Chains A and B, each alone.
Chain A
């Protein structure tokens, strides 16, 4: 577990009432937005377990929508987000499920637009979150680091090619996780870095022939 700092104890400034059910929900929506990069035309939020059962009383639904729309946890518009002008640009829906295989505070964010995307995440306590899946790939994304996400063909040398681009820019890798469908098929790479990535690097990496998709996800404000 990440150790708490002095800052963690006397913050965040947030819309109440619950760090896991409200602030966590905003952060899940916001990180999904940082992955997708824009406000989608339509989104379906599938809430599981405690998120489904007590979410309404905690404003979990409002938090998720506010996050997808780009608001942060302290934004005073969260409370009345359903009536706000910015929510008129998006078609949204909430569905509620019980599934004991899922984390108690869990959500699927199904995005529909030119490109569809499906993102799952959990609110793991004290406002901390984890994105656990993007489309068919298992990931582990906390929003605490600037992160590079890649989908590529599982071939020897791809990981080293990507990391050498980072090395050239003197970027330190904090963590690296890989996953794949099957040997030689689609694979994913999640690289958390210290500091900021220059957008050129993302373009350079994207130009590599074995790489299908790259996105750079900026960390959430603490």
Chain B
């Protein structure tokens, strides 16, 4: 494997010709690049996986507010309700939503999280990966395979688009996190290479143009609650893909569209907090309360 993999088409062809899964190709390439072993690559991924579980578990226990005081108790509110009644779609749905909130709330109270791919989108992939793994007792090997698969999806997207709200809006942060989450879940559920790429394409395609307009310039509103929404979004993509539904636009072209959309989006909507939710009457009032004029 001497060629660089810069597109999903290349990844697909290599997987097919070598009869390997995405995570196998990804971990071998990474080992080669970093002049290390596949075992070391998986040990690195395992540190992230462990930190994701720790973030969920401590987030589930906390109701501490963020530095600004805007957020930090949404997971706690759900906890209290679920003590009395179950979620409409069962305990797995309940846990995905709560884990995503728990992780994002850990992030804004300066707890330890894993940027995946970014800190603002840190709750999306772990919530789905860990909740589903706990429900169906997936092994640590299965979880690592899924995480590495997701990482490779994010890496190839990042070849064309910088994964930063300031560059391409929230589609490049939470959007990519949702596509990665879809890839992880599809791998976990035994999806083929083609199904994994379709799941990612479907998740990403439905988030194109998502703006990054955080209130007071903080990673809180709307970021914290966007994490559970886009975690659930990725599950929809996987249910479709595992049923054989394909993205009519191939994933490489979806990424091209995302790069173009990001470039066309006004800088006012790309992490500058100069428009959108940030400049609503209430958004500005919160900003004044947190930082003064």
Q: Which residues of A contact B (CB under 8 A)?
A: 1, 3-19, 22-23, 50, 53-54, 56-59, 62, 74, 76, 78-79, 125-127
The answer to whether A6 and B26 touch across the interface, beta carbons within 8 angstroms, is yes
**Distance (Å) between the CB of B200 and the closest chain A CB?**
13
Q: Is B44 an interface residue (CB 8 A)?
A: yes
**Distance (Å) between the CB of B171 and the closest chain A CB?**
16
Interface string of B22-38 (1 = CB under 8 A from A): 00001101100110000
Residues of A within 8 A of B41 (CB): 6-7
Tally inter-chain residue pairs, CB-CB below 8 A.
140
The answer to whether B114 and A12 touch across the interface, beta carbons within 8 angstroms, is yes
Q: Is B169 an interface residue (CB 8 A)?
A: no
Residues of A within 8 A of B109 (CB): 16, 79
Contact of A17 among B33, B66, B148, B164 (CB under 8 A): B66
A12, B148: Cα distance in complex, Å = 14
Q: Is B130 an interface residue (CB 8 A)?
A: no
A173, B115: Cα distance in complex, Å = 31
Contact of B112 among A9, A15, A125 (CB under 8 A): A15
Residues of A within 8 A of B150 (CB): 10
Q: Which residues of B contact A (CB under 8 A)?
A: 26-27, 29-30, 33-34, 41, 44-45, 47-48, 51, 66-68, 106-120, 122, 147-148, 150-152, 154-155, 158-159, 162-164, 166-167, 180, 216-220, 290-291
The answer to whether A17 and B218 touch across the interface, beta carbons within 8 angstroms, is yes
A124, B66: Cα distance in complex, Å = 24
Contact of B166 among A4, A12, A125 (CB under 8 A): A125
The answer to whether A11 and B44 touch across the interface, beta carbons within 8 angstroms, is yes
Q: Residue on B with the closest CB to A125?
A: B164
The answer to whether B114 and A16 touch across the interface, beta carbons within 8 angstroms, is no
The answer to whether A11 and B291 touch across the interface, beta carbons within 8 angstroms, is no
The answer to whether B218 and A50 touch across the interface, beta carbons within 8 angstroms, is no
**Distance (Å) between the CB of B70 and the closest chain A CB?**
9
Residues of A within 8 A of B217 (CB): 50, 53-54, 57
A12, B113: Cα distance in complex, Å = 8
The answer to whether B219 and A16 touch across the interface, beta carbons within 8 angstroms, is yes
A57, B167: Cα distance in complex, Å = 22
Residues of B within 8 A of A59 (CB): 67, 110
The answer to whether B152 and A15 touch across the interface, beta carbons within 8 angstroms, is no
The answer to whether A76 and B112 touch across the interface, beta carbons within 8 angstroms, is yes
The residue in A8, A14, A57 that gathers the most chain B C-beta atoms within 10 A of its C-beta is: A57
The answer to whether B110 and A10 touch across the interface, beta carbons within 8 angstroms, is no
Q: List 19 A-B contacts (CB under 8 A).
A: A4-B159, A6-B27, A6-B30, A6-B151, A6-B155, A9-B163, A10-B48, A11-B115, A14-B119, A15-B112, A17-B108, A17-B110, A17-B218, A17-B219, A23-B115, A53-B217, A56-B67, A56-B291, A57-B217
Q: Residue on B with the closest CB to A13?
A: B51
Residues of B within 8 A of A12 (CB): 114-115
Contact of B291 among A22, A23, A57, A74 (CB under 8 A): A57
**Distance (Å) between the CB of A28 and the closest chain B CB?**
16
A74, B290: Cα distance in complex, Å = 26
The answer to whether B108 and A13 touch across the interface, beta carbons within 8 angstroms, is no
